[in-house]
């Protein structure tokens, strides 16, 4: 028998059974009832500074290595395209202005796209990758506060300049958080005005390469009489844009993390879905997914005293968190979550 949960999803099937389990009706029924299998993607620890020659490693929830893809560079991110999740790696080859990009199917380990990206600005740059909808092509967005450019992977690898967003950003600073949800890339900005701050989220439609109306954050931030509220970032949570907010209470010294979900993109409606109390030694680093089991939340945490990264599950019914998985102390690479359903194995 295969040893890991992911491997146990891939038994040898007869042609008859394969036809049954690969049918759209069976896959839809299975997906609606079964929690997706979770794969944790990270990079090998060799050559941290240059990212050269690094391997992509995939773990299951038991901590077993499921697959190793050799010499593809450092893990960049996980994109959620039309056909499911892909791991994206990059290799700067010892340079700042050129890097290789690999788009990898985590279920099969196959490299779907290989491309070389050349940056025109070597001094300061910010860039991210996302999947356009409905075409399903992957695009890299590059900006340096003066201009915005887009490049399509697998195309002629030439940058196209797009117009700047209509929002005035002179009173805002970029928080270095970008995430793509349903074909739209989101950029988080925060105002410089004291004592209260405001969040502004820019939205770029990757298909048309046109800017959509910007969004305001759910609440004002800053120092108040009894608490401080700050924004920690934006993430994709179950196909929804999620804003992560840290709330620190001065009198009680308690800390909690608020998770706001954007329930209506057109109206900019936010709903506070979770308030997770944190211990003095534990930090909620990133929410990963809302599970089907009573709305439990799987999140990526950090234990300060031991400098250990871990996965925990928060139960909103009991307001408690339980241990799910712990990583070794020398585990320094970033972790992304790949949700793999049955259709990726048949």
User: What would the pLDDT profile of 136-181 be if each residue is shown by its tens digit?
Assistant: 999 999 887 678 889 998 866 688 889 988 887 776 777 778 899 9
Fold topology of 35-344? Neuraminidase (2.120.10)
Mean pLDDT within 38-53: 64
Q: Would you state the torsion angle of the CA atoms of residues 61, 88, 135, 188, taken in this order, to the nearest 10 degrees? A: 90
pLDDT value at position 32?
A: 52
- How far apart are alpha carbons 189 and 219 in whole angstroms? 14
pLDDT value at position 241?
A: 95
pLDDT value at position 336?
A: 64
SS (H, E, C) 258-317: EEEEEEECCCCEEEEEEEEEECCCEEEEEEEEECCCCCCEEEEEEECCCCEEEEEEEECC
Please check whether residue 14 is in contact with residue 303, taking contact to mean a CB–CB distance below 8 angstroms: no
- How far apart are alpha carbons 72 and 54 in whole angstroms? 6
Task: Give me the residue label for tokens 């996965």.
Answer: 311
pLDDT value at position 187?
A: 92
pLDDT value at position 139?
A: 94
Q: Using omega within 30 degrees of 0 as the cis cutoff, is the peptide bond preceding 129 cis?
A: no
Q: What is the pTM of this model?
A: 0.82
Count other C-beta atoms under 10 Å from residue 298's C-beta: 20
pLDDT value at position 27?
A: 42
The full set of domain ranges for the chain reads 35-344
- Among the listed ranges 51-60, 236-245, 330-339, which one has the minimum average pLDDT value? 330-339
Please check whether residue 262 is in contact with residue 244, taking contact to mean a CB–CB distance below 8 angstroms: no
- Please compute, for residue 5, the number of CA atoms within 13 A of its CA located in the half-sphere on the CB side: 16
Please check whether residue 9 is in contact with residue 345, taking contact to mean a CB–CB distance below 8 angstroms: yes
How does pLDDT run across 53-112, given as a tens digit for each residue? 688 888 877 778 888 888 888 888 888 888 788 899 988 777 777 888 999 988 888 899
Banded model confidence at residue 12, pLDDT cuts 50, 70, 90: very low
How does pLDDT run across 174-223, given as a tens digit for each residue? 777 889 999 999 999 887 666 667 888 999 999 999 999 999 988 766 66
Banded model confidence at residue 122, pLDDT cuts 50, 70, 90: low
Structure tokens of 215? 């969004």
Q: Would you state the torsion angle of the CA atoms of residues 105, 107, 109, 111, taken in this order, to the nearest 10 degrees? A: -20
Task: Give me the residue label for tokens 């450092």.
Answer: 74
* Mean pLDDT score of the chain: 78
Please check whether residue 130 is in contact with residue 85, taking contact to mean a CB–CB distance below 8 angstroms: no
Could you tell me which residue, 46 or 135, shows the higher pLDDT?
135
By three-state DSSP, how is residue 250 classified?
coil
Judged against a pLDDT cut of 80, whether residue 288 lies above it is answered with yes
- Please compute, for residue 3, the number of CA atoms within 13 A of its CA located in the half-sphere on the CB side: 7
- How far apart are alpha carbons 258 and 247 in whole angstroms? 7
Judged against a pLDDT cut of 50, whether residue 247 lies above it is answered with yes
Q: In this prediction, what percent of the chain has a pLDDT beyond 70?
A: 74
Question: In the chain, what's the furthest Cα-to-Cα distance?
Answer: 68
Banded model confidence at residue 25, pLDDT cuts 50, 70, 90: low
């Amino acid at each position: 028998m295969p040893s890991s949960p992911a491997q146990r999803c891939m038994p040898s099937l007869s042609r008859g059974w394969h036809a049954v389990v690969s049918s759209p009706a069976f896959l839809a029924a299975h997906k609606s009832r079964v929690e997706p299998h979770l794969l944790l993607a990270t990079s090998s620890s060799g050559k941290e500074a240059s990212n050269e020659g690094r391997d992509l490693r995939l773990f299951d929830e038991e901590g077993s290595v499921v697959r190793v893809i050799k010499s593809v560079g450092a893990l960049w991110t996980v994109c959620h395209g039309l056909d499911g999740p892909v791991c994206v790696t990059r290799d700067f080859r010892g340079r700042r202005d050129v890097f290789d990009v690999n788009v990898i199917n985590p279920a099969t380990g196959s490299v779907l796209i290989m491309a070389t990206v050349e940056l025109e600005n070597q001094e300061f740059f910010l860039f991210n990758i996302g999947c356009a909808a409905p075409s399903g092509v992957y695009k890299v967005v590059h900006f340096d506060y003066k201009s915005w450019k887009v490049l399509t992977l697998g195309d002629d690898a030439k940058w196209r300049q797009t117009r700047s967003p209509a929002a005035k950003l002179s009173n805002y600073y970029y928080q270095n958080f970008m995430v793509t949800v349903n074909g739209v890339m989101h950029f988080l900005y925060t105002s410089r005005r004291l004592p209260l701050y405001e969040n502004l989220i820019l939205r770029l439609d990757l298909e048309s390469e046109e800017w959509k109306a910007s969004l305001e954050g759910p609440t004002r931030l800053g120092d108040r009489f009894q608490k401080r509220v700050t924004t920690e970032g934006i993430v994709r949570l179950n196909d929804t844009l999620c804003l992560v907010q840290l709330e620190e209470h001065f009198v009680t010294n308690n800390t909690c993390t608020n998770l706001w979900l954007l329930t209506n993109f057109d109206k900019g409606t936010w709903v506070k879905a979770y308030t997770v109390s944190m211990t003095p030694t534990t930090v909620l680093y990133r929410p990963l997914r809302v599970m089907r089991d009573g709305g439990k939340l799987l999140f990526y945490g950090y234990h300060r005293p031991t400098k250990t990264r871990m996965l925990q599950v928060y139960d909103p019914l009991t307001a408690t968190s339980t241990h799910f998985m712990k990583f070794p102390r020398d585990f320094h690479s970033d972790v992304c979550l790949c949700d793999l359903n049955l259709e990726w194995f048949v």
